[in-house]
A and B are shown apart, each in its own frame.
Chain A
């Protein structure tokens, strides 16, 4: 498979799976989920996914590990202080940028 057709097939798979996840319950299910375990699992899965995606990948996301660690630390502190999403993300990038002059 050529690179372009592989990429197009990959995008089609991503879009189709994502759409079906949204559309099937939205269009056809009319009753709430009964299983308490399943409801709890679905409630926790986004947080687990986002954390597993962040650790350890964040440490290779910003040039040097030192820059990334600084940005990650700043993000943790500001998020703990409940600052808005944009503020947390931009401050993390700013910290990574500043530290890159020392690393």
Chain B
């Protein structure tokens, strides 16, 4: 039990280090959008989702409605449902319902990827250790970024504003290079999003993200469906 906890914590260290730089960017963005430091930290601690938080904070700063916020989170974070589904098949029998409900809080892209790559079944303590260390990095980085945002010169914080988008590019480009379906989904999403922003200025940014993403993913799913029998674990 204890060794599972430590092993999970150790596997969480590289995740936490990666989160530090990304959540640093989120902290800067959130404060720049007019949120208080404690609000940025609260959002990171409560949500633990990079893309969802960026979309949420941007919408929040624009005074978007709560239903719109819920819809944005649903679309941006829908991928977690697939990861949860996949990971739920890999849990050992110590994973009681309360433990599943607790561990679900920490299913992120990176934690999913590391857990999915583990041989055999996953123990609750292993996931708990990994989530604790990773979330500490996520929340700590947000606090540092939020504080730095107020101290650093504007020229520096302006440049750091691109950090998160750099991360998004790093996530999308390698699979887009490899797979035609991902390439199509990305190009179509970029095209529709750009078109909507230019052609329908009244549409909020997050709504155009939802429309572009759903249309592009549906197009890719129709033209390049996944192999019928292969268990997909993205």
Q: A residues near B, CB below 8 A?
A: 6-7, 9-15, 17-19, 21-27, 29-30, 32-33, 36-37, 39-58, 61-63, 67-68, 71-72, 75-76, 78-80, 82-86, 88-94, 96-97, 100
Contacts and interface: CB of A to CB of B under 8 A. Distances in A.
Contact of B162 (A29, A55, A92): A92
Nearest to B55: A53
Contacts of A46: 79, 109, 171, 234
Given A42-B79, A46-B234, 7 more contacts: A14-B47, A17-B73, A27-B88, A29-B85, A43-B232, A44-B216, A91-B166
Given A29-B85, A42-B81, A92 B213 contact: no
Contacts of B217: 41, 44-45, 47-48
Contacts of A21: 73-74, 77-78, 80-81, 84
Contacts of B73: 13-14, 17-18, 21
A53 B168 contact: yes
B208 to A, nearest CB: 7
Contact of A100 (B155, B187, B214): B155
Contact of B52 (A18, A39, A48): A18
B88 A75 contact: no
Given A9-B66, A67-B158, A50 B100 contact: no
Nearest to A17: B73
B168 A27 contact: no
B51 interface: yes
Contacts of B66: 9-10, 13
A36 B190 contact: no
B52 A14 contact: yes
20 contacts: A9-B66, A18-B47, A19-B105, A22-B107, A40-B224, A43-B181, A45-B79, A48-B220, A49-B51, A49-B189, A50-B171, A52-B193, A54-B172, A58-B162, A63-B155, A72-B162, A79-B169, A85-B167, A88-B169, A96-B158
